[in-house]
Amino acid sequence: MKLDDTCVLVVVDMQNDFCEGGALPTADGHQVVPVINAVGRKFHNVVLTQDWHPPGHVSFASAHPGKNPLDSVVMPYGTQILWPDHVVQNTWGAEFHPDLDLPHAQLIIRKGYLKEIDSYSAFCMVDGVTKTGLGSYLRERGIERVFVAGCAIDYCVGGLAADAARAGFETFVIDDATASIDPAPGASADRAWKEIAEAGVTRIASSDIE
Ligand code: VGL
Ligand code: ZN
């Protein structure tokens, strides 16, 4: 696969809290960092996303008395899975992994900053309506093909990839550059791969990229 200026690599949520030692670690976050660094060098256009929650965010179990992480609550916008407190604004957990080395990244797009609504995809909030502006940015930059890596395929990578495909971008997820929260057979990562395939997203390996 040959890249050109119509391609972008979107590196999703490569933050301390989603890696080993963090508050909501993926199984393999620290292992995908070198893969992302290597593949990232091949792209002229790189965008980073940063999950960025205020204290007391609606997705935190601690904000719902009597609830525990992985419980869910029904919100006006739908069912919300609850998580441990993570990526709190201006904390170590919200910083990018120290080994992430993509100095040529052009845009850092934050999400999840509204206290009363969550955001998995960096295109829009989980209500499916409130946009971040990423779609318009990519269009104005002449982007046609979106390649996705980072954390976690089950939630934010999967959500972003499905939205990119629905927005009309040709979309690829780089399997070995993607970490999962629950990689067990039949669990959330497995389900996400099926859902994004149905949305028209192609699963590739970093070695498929020239
Ligand atoms: C994520 C759960 C909660 C992710 C973010 O980056 O996949 N998952 N917040
Ligand atoms: Zn989050």
Going residue by residue through the chain, which has 210 residues, state the pLDDT in tens, using 9 for 90 and above: 999 999 999 999 999 999 999 999 999 999 999 999 999 999 999 999 999 999 999 999 999 999 999 999 999 999 999 999 999 999 999 999 999 999 999 999 999 999 999 999 999 999 999 999 999 999 999 999 999 999 999 999 999 999 999 999 999 999 999 999 999 999 999 999 999 999 999 999 999 999
- How many whole angstroms from 87 Cα to the centroid of ligand 2? 7
pLDDT value, residue 28: 95
- Does residue 61 have a cis bond before it (omega within 30 degrees)? no
In a domain, residue 65? The reply is: no
In a domain, residue 151? The reply is: yes
In a domain, residue 134? The reply is: yes
* Candidate from 12, 86, 148, 196 with most ligand 1 atoms within 8 A of CB, to mutate: 86
179 by Cβ neighbours in 10 Å (0-12 / 13-18 / 19+) ranks as: buried
| Active-site residue flag, 151 | no
Q: CB within 6 Å of ligand 1 — which residues?
A: 13, 18, 51, 83, 151-152, 155-156
Return all residues near 91 (Cβ < 8 A) that are at least 6 apart.
Answer: none
- How many whole angstroms from 86 Cα to the centroid of ligand 2? 6
In a domain, residue 34? The reply is: yes
pLDDT value, residue 160: 98
| Active-site residue flag, 13 | yes
In a domain, residue 82? The reply is: no
Please give the Cα distance from 72 to 74 (Å, whole number): 7
In a domain, residue 70? The reply is: no
Catalytic residue among 7, 17, 19, 111: 111
pLDDT value, residue 128: 92
Note down the domain range covering 170: 7-54+89-208
pLDDT value, residue 204: 98
pLDDT value, residue 46: 98
Please give the Cα distance from 180 to 153 (Å, whole number): 5
Q: How many domains does the chain have?
A: 1
In a domain, residue 165? The reply is: yes
Catalytic residue among 51, 151, 156, 163: 156
pLDDT value, residue 131: 95
In a domain, residue 37? The reply is: yes
pLDDT value, residue 165: 98
pLDDT value, residue 86: 98
CATH classification of the domain holding 175: 3.40.50.850
Half-sphere exposure of 201 (CA within 13 A, CB side): 30
